[in-house]
Amino acid sequence: MTGISRRGLLGAAALLPVPALAQGTPGGAFPDRPIRLIMPFPAGGSSDTHARAFADAMSRELPQRIVVDNRSGAGGNIGVDAAAKSPADGYTLLATGPNIINTRYLIRDTPFRWERDFDPLGMMFSAPNVLVVHPSVPARTVPEFIAHVRANPGRLNFGSAGAGGSIHLSAEMFMEMTGTQMVHVPYRGDALLRADLTTGAIQVLFGGITTALEPIRAGQWRALGVTGPTRWPALPDLPTVAETLPGYSVTSWMGLFAPKGVPAPVVARLREAFDKVMANPANVAEFEKLGVQVTPSSAAQHLAFMQNEERRWAPILSKIEPA
């Protein structure tokens, strides 16, 4: 998904007023017990790693322990639905990305609606994906890959960690803009997906750039292009897909959400800690070591970003037959 400028958001993010005492339970200051952060993807993947780094930093600011609860499955729907059904008291939060918007188009009877069931609290991170192929694919550049896919419609399989995520949507936008056809193979997480690309069981992946670096450098995967609007510092010689397809841009992102209706004083306390986490240079350096750009926002900016992303992707998603 299109990333948010770090510089713009750091300058525009507004701190909400924080009362002297935020009430979490009757007679007690919020938070007076551990907070659960639901991560709707498996432990060990890039999303989980980023969420845990944020949880550690947020724990230090509250100060209260934040426990990451992995609730994976159904393209992230299981975890998001669990968060939506949690009490709106600030003790359950959700860290997730594009799937919270997009799975409604891709999975029948999705029980939640982000705009009805959640309050966006702030954007956290963004990073591009990278188009990689198994070495058996003869293409070595994006133009060569487009020509190869066009010559072999429906014969190449691309993997994703679940329907509706940025990995999936990177491929969908690519096919939409090039008029090509590949077969989507969704996985429940990163491990088997990565293994199948390494063995050649699937041939294509628009994978998270942080987890793709090692197999790219080891020669297990061949990198063809970065999905973001600019080249990525860790792969400076790798062109963007947009250098071949002007206007193509997909960036993975992660935001913080609360079930709809958390009391305003509790939201203010969470926002106070959130802003301190994102403004701390040591935290920023630690997050960037994980391969993400820190893209903090106000809650209002996060909401506007979500609305814009839904408008952007609905035309493409509506053409895909839901599971």
Structural domains for the chain? 6-127+250-317 (3.40.190.150), 128-243 (3.40.190.10)
Please check the confidence at residue 318 and state whether its pLDDT lies above 80.
yes
Contact between residue 321 and residue 163 where contact means Cβ atoms under 8 Å apart: no
Q: Which of 14-23, 211-220, 225-234 has the lowest mean pLDDT?
A: 14-23
pLDDT digits (tens, 9 = 90+) for 36-86: 999 998 888 888 999 999 999 999 999 999 999 999 888 789 999 999 999
pTM of the predicted protein model:
0.82
Find the mean pLDDT for residues 250-262: 96
In the prediction, which pLDDT does 28 show? Answer: 63
In the prediction, which pLDDT does 116 show? Answer: 96
pLDDT digits (tens, 9 = 90+) for 128-187: 999 999 999 999 999 999 999 999 999 999 999 878 888 999 999 999 999 999 999 988
CB-based burial label for 237 (10 Å; 0-12, 13-18, 19+):
exposed
In the prediction, which pLDDT does 187 show? Answer: 87
Structure confidence at residue 114 as a pLDDT band (50, 70, 90): very high
pLDDT digits (tens, 9 = 90+) for 12-29: 333 333 333 344 444 468
Closest-CA residue to 260 (of 107, 102, 100, 108): 100
DSSP code string of 198-256: HHTSS-EEEEEHHHHHHHHHTTSSEEEEESSSS--TTSTTSPBGGGTSTT---EEEEEE
